[in-house]
């Protein structure tokens, strides 16, 4: 989404991130559904370069009430067909590891 809303060539350029959804393979503005583009379009404008995202999180006050000695990760390999503007996930591997401290 960040690629689309930051790109002047996108119909979603300048939209607020919280106002953009993914609907049936399209990036679409909630407040104006006519402003949309295929998921593959921002990737194609970048020359098909891979997109990678990483996130981190810190525990909050819930750690005082619940056990927090676990972590998990989900890995997915996603392919985009630029001719059909379709995306698909070929490999999805959730991994959950519990650790006792």
Any domain includes 101: no
The DSSP code for 70 is E
3 in Cβ contact with 9 (< 8 Å): no
Domain count, the chain: 1
Please indicate, yes or no, if residue 55 is contained in any of the structural domains: no
Overall pTM surpassing 0.85 (yes/no): no
Query: Is residue 85 situated within a structural domain?
Result: yes
- DSSP per-residue codes, 1-42: -HHHHH-TTSTTTT--GGGEEEETTEEEESS-TTSEEETHHH
11 domain residue, yes or no: yes
pLDDT tens, position by position, 9-40: 999 999 999 999 999 889 999 999 999 999 88
**Per-residue model confidence as pLDDT tens digits over 60-92:** 887 778 776 666 777 777 777 777 777 776 655
**Residue at token pair 């809303």:** 5
The yes-or-no verdict on residue 95 having pLDDT over 90 is no
């Amino acid at each position: 989404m960040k690629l689309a809303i930051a790109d002047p060539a996108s119909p979603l350029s300048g939209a607020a991130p919280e106002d953009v959804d993914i609907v049936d393979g399209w990036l679409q503005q909630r407040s104006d559904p006519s402003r949309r583009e295929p998921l593959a379009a921002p990737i194609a404008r970048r020359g098909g370069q891979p997109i990678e995202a990483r996130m981190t999180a810190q525990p909050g006050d819930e750690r005082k009430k619940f056990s927090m000695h676990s972590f998990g990760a989900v890995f997915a390999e996603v392919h985009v067909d630029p001719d059909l503007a379709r995306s698909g996930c070929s490999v999805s591997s959730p991994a959950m590891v519990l650790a006792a401290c």
